[in-house]
Amino acid sequence: MSLITEDCPVEGFSYKVVRGECVSYAAHSSKVRVEIYSSKTTTWSYSELACNEAVSLTPWTAGRVIKGVVYWHATGGKVAIYDTEDEEKRIDVIKLPKTFNYDEQVLGESSDGCLQYGWSNKSVMEIWKLEKVGEVLEWTIQFKVNFKAMWRLNPVEYARFSTRTKETQLLAFFNQNSDSVFIRCDSHICVFDTKTQRVEEVQYQGRGSSFVWDYCKVLPYFQLSWPCSSSSLLEEGNI
C-alpha cells in the first residue's frame, strides 16, 4: 500500500491511497490488481495492470512513491514499477542489481529524485541508483563499503559498540538524501555519512526494551512538510 499526496493551487491538498494485491498463488500471472482511493472523489477505483512478464508483489515489504510513480518489491529479486498517471494501465518490472537471501534490502529516494536501492550482508553494504540512460532504465552503483573498514575509521564507536560480536546492518535511507544512511549495530542506531565515512550514533531511549533485537524491524519516520493549503485549513480550525 502506498500514499500519494498532491498540492494544487486551485483545488488545494489531496491524496491517493494505492493498494496492490499480493497473491502468492499467482506467481505465474502477468497481471496485478490494484485499487485506488482518491480524496477528491472519496471513492475507490479498481484496475487490472498488465505486465510483459510474470509478476507477483511481495507482501510485508515497504514500497516507495516518487513523483507519482509507485515502486513495490516483487518476487524473484525484482522491483515492480507502476505510474499512476499512465492511461495504459500497465506495470513494469526491473531486476534488482543484487539480491541475497536474508540480506537487508531497502528502497529510497535520491536527492535528484531517482529510486535508490540498498542492501547489506554481514560484511558489505552497497547503494545503487536507478536512472535513465537514453531510453533504458539502468542501475548505477553509488557507494560500497566494507563494514570492518568503516569501523576502523571510527575507533571510538568501534570500541563502544562491541562490533566484533555484533553484525552491522543497513536500516534505511534518509528522505531525498544520497549522502547518508541509517545503520544498526545491535541496539545502537547510527547515521553513516558516505562522503566522510564517519559514524554518528542516534540518541534514543530504546535500549530498555524487552524485545529481542534480532527479531525487530526498525523503520524511520519523517515529519511531513504539509502544503500551505492544508496548514491554513488547520489554522482556521476547519479540520
| Range from 99-103, 110-114, 132-136 carrying the lowest mean pLDDT | 99-103
Please report the pLDDT score of residue 91 as a whole number: 93
Q: Where are the domains of the chain?
A: 1-95
Please report the pLDDT score of residue 196 as a whole number: 92
CA distance 56 to 142: 28
- Reported pTM: 0.78
Q: pLDDT by residue (tens digit) across 33-61?
A: 999 888 888 889 898 999 999 888 888 77
Q: Is the pLDDT of residue 164 over 90?
A: no
Q: Is the pLDDT of residue 229 over 90?
A: no
145: its cell numbers: 563499503
| Residue 212 or residue 77, greater confidence | 77
Please report the pLDDT score of residue 125 as a whole number: 93
Please report the pLDDT score of residue 59 as a whole number: 80
